[in-house]
Amino acid sequence: MTFVAKPRVHHPKLPVNEIGLTRRDYEGSVSTLCAGCGHDSVSAAIVQACAELSLPPHRFAKVSGIGCSSKTPSYFLNKSHGFNSVHGRMPSVMTGSNLANRDLIGVGVSGDGDSASIGFGQFAHIVRRSINMLYLVDNNGTYGLTKGQFSATNDKGSTSKKGVPNLYEPIDLVSSALQIGASFVARSFSGDKKQLVPLIKAALMHKGMAFIDVISPCVAFNNHSGSTKSYEFVRDHIHNVMDADLIMTHDEVTADYAEGTREDVSMPDGSTLQLYKVDADYDPYDRVGALNYVQRMQEKGEVVTGLLYVNPDAVECHDIMDTVSRPLNELTEADLCPGSDTLAALNQRYR
Amino acid sequence: MSIKYNDFVIRFANVNGSGSASANGMFAKALFRMGIPVATRNIFPSNIQGLPTWFEVRVSEKGYLGRREGVDIMVAMNAETLVEDVASISPGGYLLYDNSKPLAKALRRDDIHEIAIPIAAMMLPEFTDPKQRSLFKNIAYLGALAGLLNIEFDVITGMVSTQYKGKDALIQPNIRSLELGRDYAVRYLNAPLPLQVRRSDAVGDRIMIDGNDAAGLGSVYGGATVCAWYPITPSTSVAESFENHSNVLRIDKETGQKKFAFLQVEDELAAIGVVIGAAWNGARSFTATSGPGISLMSEFLGLAYFAEIPAVIWDIQRSGPSTGMPTRTQQGDLIGAAYASHGDTKHPLLFPSTPKECFDFAVQALDLADRLQTPIMVLSDLELGMNDNLSDPFEWDDSRRYDRGKVLSAKDLDEVEVFGRYLDVDGDGIGYRTYPGTHPEKGAFFTRGTSRDEFAVYTESGAVYQRNMERLQKKWQTARTMVPEARIANLGHSVGVLYYGTTALPMPEALDNLAESGIHMDTCRVRAFPFGDQVEQFIASHDLVFVAEQNRDGQMRLLLINELQTNPAKLISVLYYAGLSISADTITEQISDYYIENKLSRVTEVQS
């Protein structure tokens, strides 16, 4: 494996964001994934979203499981700590990280094998807990690192590179997230940066669990005709219902959407979530309706994308637990230890 | 007939879920409050209601807290187990039973005393509600025992008043039932018996608490802020204790908010994942489980060992393998815990013997995990964890500070020229770490289970991998000097006995028994793995060392042989693994038998 370090010299004309940083300050190491891998586009979208939001690049906690997708936290935000943990267990590690320090921005990256197979249980349960994070799945329907076995999100009938069809029903993570109660559910496509970057921005500023299923074709094992996760198939069957953007209070509104209507939603931190109804009949606040719609379209072979459901008033796990506002990892003996007098009184209780 | 004071075993045979636990607990507590040493043992089924359950109290003026074979008084309240209960009474012992229904002739023994009390009949006119009748039967036999054994009645009624403070309607029927039982015993049963209790000062300032409660409280004192767990007997009450104490001791006075996170998760994999994620992000965190949970956590334990992340895991051992006997005790997880996971892994283990040690080790385990940047497992068991044990009171030095280990702050990072997460700067095998989000420019690194160099950069270089594994070995040597030292009593005998955890409970009695028959031994109570120099020297300085433990394979013995290269012929196993805790009788018998079989001289020479 060759490793070419990126030059640290910035182009003089690179735009600077509100905190004086350029996009380069949000990048990571050079990717070791295949040329043309959808996952690299997703990493680039994360870099762009974080830079545009002017978030401090060292205040993230990046956690992943195992697989191609889970390698990607190395490829963005290298000023932040990252944790490439155990296959399928990103949700539990992220839960712990978030409990320890609620102030960091949690970015969990997983794959379809990681979240829909070995880690399906952990996926379901972190949705229940409403951990304040972005949960992003690079969904390519295949196990790349072990050379192209079907994953659980691969559609029934979709074929392998050798033309063998998948015989089993797929798991749709978007439907699962909606059913279990995620407060922000979106689907996008790694080939549609215009849609993906604003969705990531909105997800990062959402309070509670924000889930984005990104269909991200595997150029090595799942990009042939016969596959329903190829660039071509997804482009032909995509059905966008709802674009979203996250506008910081003072930003200028520069929407370039032709169709549909715009709706502004005030976010708890003072920013504005802007929704653009691409499909005029779609209601992004109706969780059950969203689930119904996604399932019906899936029956027709259509891939519904966009911001599918959002609850702007959602709470996060720390609200549910009623923990102190200070990060738990900053508490000291004075906060935590009840001391000897209290212990003497406790001893008395056990007599 | 001479009267025997403060020395007997009483066993209560009940039906699970019948409300007997409260009455039986009060019995033990009353004796404890009279200053008499007691040890309680709950022998219960994996069941909510209906199956047989036993509660045993060892009463010992001498302070012997281990289990003793034989039952002196059987309170037989379960018709289903009556046959085996009657059979288990030692000759000369007492059978207390409810003769509202007569005892079958076949059950009668002429070598025991029968104490017949028509308990059900007595309750009939007192209570109309059948549930109350059944519940207060337990209180009535407690009252009868008070009369029979001469328990100070005020002590019991005082406990009733305290227990039901604010629920006055419950006090009167409890007292009434106690009196009914006592009066019957005094009037019709020639009470008190020649077997009695009397006030003593043998308890001293000790407290009575179960080990799991002590572990939960110790975790509060030790500064744990995250507890993630999955229910499993016999560990559940560790987590519950942490939550209960935290809900009192860890509430922010101004906001009422919690200075801890307590999360019941979907399984043990998630529990250890949360603990590792929280510790990676700088919070002291722990989980509690039992053997099957350790199996599930094993992949994560390997990651935490290799990625060097602190974690504290309480393993309250039960009988295995698989689900084994889930409500019976064992010391069966040593090998599994010590080498849990794939590849070259090993983990420090702590072995508490008393509730006080559960409290102290809870604090120390959190310190060691941070200092050594590795998972620390505390191996307790059902015997210690779920039974009320006498214990020295807990102590806390207010000047004590948590050892958070080698962690660089933003200020430290400003001063550091080169930061490498896995650089062995101090030569003890332990690198410096940073918490996420500490510094805008320096100190960030990528944590992974795959191999990496000293600067946390991914590499598949064999030489770098090997260098890292050797550094971890150096860290292991550092751990040897930091874990709790063995407790050794060395009087220069040529034979020793080595034990750990709850095998310590019957040991004083066993040693006294053996000494009476001319067998004298030095003792080594191992309190941690890896073994310190003291353990190695203890074995080296004795001709023969018995290793007493509660499992089939002699797992401590195997660990000693494996880690210290001890000659196996020198280590003789003393084993018990039938579900109860090891008794002094078992230890005495197995060691005596060895002496007989090998014709060893009975009075070993004392070298001074």
Domain total in chain A = 1
- CA A70, A72, A74, A76 dihedral sign is negative
Q: For residue B311, list chain A residues with Cβ-Cβ distance below 8 A.
A: none
- B246/B315 same-domain check: yes
User: Is residue B59 a contact partner of residue B73, using CB atoms and an 8 Å limit?
Assistant: no
Residue A331 lies in a domain: no
Say which range, A245-254, B75-84, B221-230, has the weakest mean pLDDT.
A245-254
Q: What is the CATH number of the domain that holds B512?
A: 3.40.50.920
Residue A304 lies in a domain: yes
Question: Which residue in A has a C-alpha nearest to residue B389's C-alpha?
Answer: A350
Q: For residue A125, list chain B residues with Cβ-Cβ distance below 8 A.
A: 265-266, 270
- B570/B425 same-domain check: no
pLDDT for B44 equals 86
pLDDT for A272 equals 83
Residue B399 lies in a domain: no
- B185/B274 same-domain check: no
Q: Does A228 touch chain B (CB under 8 A)?
A: no
A83 and B445 within 8 Å at the Cβ level: the answer is: no
Q: Does A345 touch chain B (CB under 8 A)?
A: no
Tens-level pLDDT at each residue, chain A (351 residues): 344 455 556 677 788 999 999 999 999 999 999 999 999 999 999 999 999 999 999 999 999 999 999 999 999 999 999 999 999 999 999 999 999 999 999 999 999 999 999 999 999 999 999 999 999 999 999 999 999 999 999 999 999 999 999 999 999 999 999 999 999 999 999 999 999 999 999 999 999 999 999 999 999 999 999 999 999 999 999 999 888 887 765 554 444 555 556 788 887 777 888 887 788 788 999 999 999 999 999 999 899 999 999 999 999 999 999 999 999 999 999 999 999 999 999 999 999
> From the CA of A100, how many Å to the nearest CA of chain B?
5
- B387/B238 same-domain check: yes
Alpha-carbon distances of B142 from A5, B16, B24, B118, rounded to whole Å: 79, 17, 8, 14
pLDDT for A2 equals 41
Bridge partners, residue A188, by sequence: A214
For the segment B49-58, the average pLDDT, to the nearest whole number, is: 93
pLDDT for B605 equals 47
The pLDDT tens digits of the residues spanning B547-563 come to: 999 999 999 999 999 99
Residue A188 lies in a domain: yes
The torsion defined by the Cα of A264, A268, A269 and A270, in degrees rounded to 10, comes to 40
- B525/B468 same-domain check: no
Residue A234 lies in a domain: yes
A81-84: strand order across its sheet: A262-266, A272-277, A238-247, A303-310, A184-189, A209-215, A133-139, A105-111, A60-64, A81-84, B446-448
Q: Indicate the helix (H) or strand (E) that contains B481.
A: helix B462-482
Residue B91 lies in a domain: yes
Q: What is the CATH number of the domain that holds A302?
A: 3.40.50.970
A61 and B437 within 8 Å at the Cβ level: the answer is: yes
Query: Rounded CA gap, A189 and A175, in Å?
Result: 17
> From the CA of A177, how many Å to the nearest CA of chain B?
17
Q: For residue B283, list chain A residues with Cβ-Cβ distance below 8 A.
A: 96, 99-101, 328-329
Q: Does A325 touch chain B (CB under 8 A)?
A: yes
- B464/B552 same-domain check: no
Nearest to A58 among B269, B397, B444 (CB): B444
pLDDT for B18 equals 86
Residue B607 lies in a domain: no
For the segment B160-167, the average pLDDT, to the nearest whole number, is: 89
Task: Please provide residue A130's backbone torsions phi and psi, each rounded to the nearest 5 degrees.
Answer: 60, 50
A100 and B285 within 8 Å at the Cβ level: the answer is: yes
Which residue, among B525, B438, B465, B458, has the nearest Cα to B489 in the 3D structure? Answer: B525
Alpha-carbon distances of B518 from B506, B573, B591, B608, rounded to whole Å: 18, 20, 12, 18
Q: Is the pLDDT of residue B393 over 50?
A: yes
B394: left (phi over 0), alpha (psi -120 to 50) or beta: beta
- B368/B302 same-domain check: yes
- B335/B380 same-domain check: yes
Q: Which of B444, B479, B514 is the last residue of a domain?
A: B479
Which residue, among B229, B485, B280, has the nearest Cα to B364 in the 3D structure? Answer: B485
CB pairs under 8 A between A and B: 226
Q: Is the pLDDT of residue B607 over 50?
A: no
Q: If you ran DSSP here, which 8-state letter would residue B343 be given?
A: S
Instruction: Give the count of beta carbons closer than 10 Å to the beta carbon of residue B128.
Output: 8
Query: Rounded CA gap, B302 and B315, in Å?
Result: 17
- Residue A123's Cβ-side half-sphere holds a number of Cα atoms within 13 Å equal to 31
Residue A8 lies in a domain: no
Residue A348 lies in a domain: no
Tell me the residue type at B110. D
The pLDDT tens digits of the residues spanning B465-512 come to: 999 999 999 999 999 999 999 999 999 999 999 999 999 999 999 999
Domain total in chain B = 4
Alpha-carbon distances of B246 from A330, B242, B251, rounded to whole Å: 17, 6, 7
- Residue A92's Cβ-side half-sphere holds a number of Cα atoms within 13 Å equal to 30
pLDDT for A132 equals 98
Residue A47 lies in a domain: yes
Residue A14 lies in a domain: no
- B148/B77 same-domain check: yes
- Tokens at B446, concatenated: 């990528």
> Which domain, by its residues, includes A44?
23-325
Please state, for a pLDDT cut of 70, what percent of chain B lies above it: 99
For the segment B182-206, the average pLDDT, to the nearest whole number, is: 96
B221 and A343 within 8 Å at the Cβ level: the answer is: yes
- B255/B161 same-domain check: no
pTM of the model: 0.95
> From the CA of A230, how many Å to the nearest CA of chain B?
30
> From the CA of A129, how many Å to the nearest CA of chain B?
9
B274 and A96 within 8 Å at the Cβ level: the answer is: yes
Q: Which of B461, B479, B497 is the last residue of a domain?
A: B479
A91 and B273 within 8 Å at the Cβ level: the answer is: yes
- B212/B192 same-domain check: no
A92 and B226 within 8 Å at the Cβ level: the answer is: no
> Which domain, by its residues, includes B33?
4-196
Residue B225 lies in a domain: yes
Residue B201 lies in a domain: no
pLDDT for A6 equals 57
Give residues 98 to 127 of A whose Cβ lies within 8 Å of B: 98-101, 103-104, 121-122, 124-125
Report the relative pairing of strands B195-196 and B71-76 from DSSP bridges. Answer: unpaired
Q: Does A320 touch chain B (CB under 8 A)?
A: no
> From the CA of B229, how many Å to the nearest CA of chain A?
11
Residue B54 lies in a domain: yes
Q: For residue B225, list chain A residues with Cβ-Cβ distance below 8 A.
A: 99-100, 328-329, 331, 336
Q: Which of B356, B391, B426 is the last residue of a domain?
A: B391
